[in-house]
Amino acid sequence: MPDSLAARTATAPAPAGPFVPPPNLYVSTHPAVQHKLALLRTESTEPKKFRELVREISWLVGYEALADAKIEPIEVRTPLETTPGARLADRIGLIPILRAGLGMVDAMLELMPTAEVWHLGLFRDERTLRPVEYYNKLPDTATVDVCLILDPMLATGGSATAAIEVLKHWGARRIKLLNLIAAPEGVTAVSTAHPDVPIYCAALDRQLNEKGYILPGLGDAGDRQFGTYKHS
């Protein structure tokens, strides 16, 4: 069981003013996503099942996020005749945010087998809630047309905003953010700083608590995937 879960249940003050979902936010309404999300949130879901669910929900939400990927026409020879076909024309870059974003990579590689994977290491300082970058091996210039940032949780938005800034500095033009659960605070932070970046998620939750955890949320996405809860 995740440690200090009880300590995370006190709520932080609600953000000033009502939350108005921005036009760049897409929350999946697919029944399969809703079903799997309930299992993902469930406290008793073990890491193995949790990882499976992260993978399955990522596939479903990623499918929606990449619906506008560019294709080019090709000719296909079937056993019977020649017919017009299509192949992906966009060079897709997957940018998993370590650690928790790792669990979303395989699903996205199934969807987009030719995608490049560029890992970005960011962790959230527990005290300040600010992101700290610890791994970045991006080459000097952008090598892809579309960057899909993979991170299960959008809480304060600090990590996502930092990742977007790194990618823009790299020269990325089309950036999308793929989350499983987003908090209104994080959505507002990202869409205010980067209104050009669409956010795709499986759920928009209520709020953050005073420790920056999403409510109702699922706890710590990295710890739940990798079984690294701190036991008290």
| Residue 193 beta carbon to ligand PRP: minimum distance, rounded to whole angstroms | 12
Tokens of 215: 């409510």
Q: Whole-angstrom Cα distance, residue 121 to residue 99?
A: 7
Q: Which stretch binds ligand URA (CB under 6 A): 21-29, 30-38, 113-121, 215-223?
A: 215-223
From the list ligand URA, ligand PRP, none, partner contacted by residue 88 (C-beta under 5 to 8 A by kind)? none
From the list ligand URA, ligand PRP, none, partner contacted by residue 198 (C-beta under 5 to 8 A by kind)? none
Residues that bind ligand PRP (CB under 6 A): 97-100, 122-124, 129, 131, 151-160, 186, 212, 220-222
Query: Is the separation of the CB atoms in 57 and 40 below 8 Å?
Result: yes
Q: Whole-angstrom Cα distance, residue 36 to residue 203?
A: 11
DSSP H helices, 171-220, are: 184-193
Between the CA of residue 130 and those of 9, 78, 156, what are the distances in Å?
A: 21, 54, 9
| By CB under 6 A, residue 185 contacts ligand URA | no
| Residue 151 beta carbon to ligand URA: minimum distance, rounded to whole angstroms | 9
From the list ligand PRP, ligand URA, none, partner contacted by residue 151 (C-beta under 5 to 8 A by kind)? ligand PRP
| By CB under 6 A, residue 157 contacts ligand URA | no
Between the CA of residue 216 and those of 155, 172, 206, 212, what are the distances in Å?
A: 12, 33, 7, 12
Instruction: Please give the residue ranges that form the binding site for ligand URA (CB under 6 A).
Output: 100, 153, 155, 212-214, 217, 220-222
